[in-house]
Structure 1
Amino acid sequence: MENQEMNDYSQDMKNRLKRIEGQVRGVLKMMEEGKECKDVITQLSAARSAMDRSIGYIVAKNLETCIRSSEENGEPTDELIQEAVQMIVKSR
């Protein structure tokens, strides 16, 4: 599912990852301050959830671009869809 068009990740996607980076830094600070385990885990879970959504977003956008390109060229799209599913499964 490699496509040159998807090498230009949107600013929205970069901003999402910067927020996740901030969440992880916040978790490290919580650990350094000796915060409760429950609170640290809650924040780690939130960061993981944000990461999962980011993966889904990237795969979906890439799949959309690849399918449009394939359809324009009269190529089958079944393999693209299967590859996208595999990328999501591997990320779990």
Structure 2
Amino acid sequence: MEYNDQIMKRLKRVEGQVGGVLRMMNEEKNCKDVVSQLSAIRSAVDKTIAVIVADNLEKCLKEEMASGGDTQKMVEEAVNLLVKSR
């Protein structure tokens, strides 16, 4: 699978957020602030996972439908990936 610039930008943003949390921890910032930032990171990662799964699913479904195959299994696998990531 080819990962586009949008996905890379999302992950670079997450990378920056993780660096920010580490700085906050080194500066002994308030627990609530650290947890809030960690929650934002988790949300950003979850959204990135969803984008990757959706993009890949779309491509796979098109290929499978073009060949007359059954798409149900692919949809189930995509849903399982999303559930497993949580």
Shorter-chain TM-score range: over 0.9
Say whether 1:11 aligns with 2:5: yes
CA RMSD of aligned residues (A): 0.5
Give 4+ residue runs of structure 1 displaced > 6 Å after superposition: none
Identity between Structure 1 and Structure 2 (%): 52
Q: Residue 56 of structure 2: which of 51, 57, 62 is its match?
A: 62
Give the aligned length: 86
Please state how far the C-alpha of 1:8 moved relative to its aligned partner.
Answer: 1.0
Please state how far the C-alpha of 1:80 moved relative to its aligned partner.
Answer: 0.2
Q: Secondary structure at the match of 2:69?
A: coil
Q: TM-score, normalized by length of structure 2?
A: 0.98
Please state how far the C-alpha of 1:14 moved relative to its aligned partner.
Answer: 0.5
After superposition, what is the alpha-carbon deviation per residue over 1:45-90, rounded to whole angstroms, capped at 9, x for unaligned? 0000000011111110010000000011111100000000100010
Larger RCO, structures 1/2 (Cα 8 Å, 6+ apart): 1
Say whether 1:31 aligns with 2:25: yes
Q: Residue 35 of structure 2: which of 41, 44, 48 is its match?
A: 41
Q: Which runs of 5+ in 2 are unaligned?
A: none
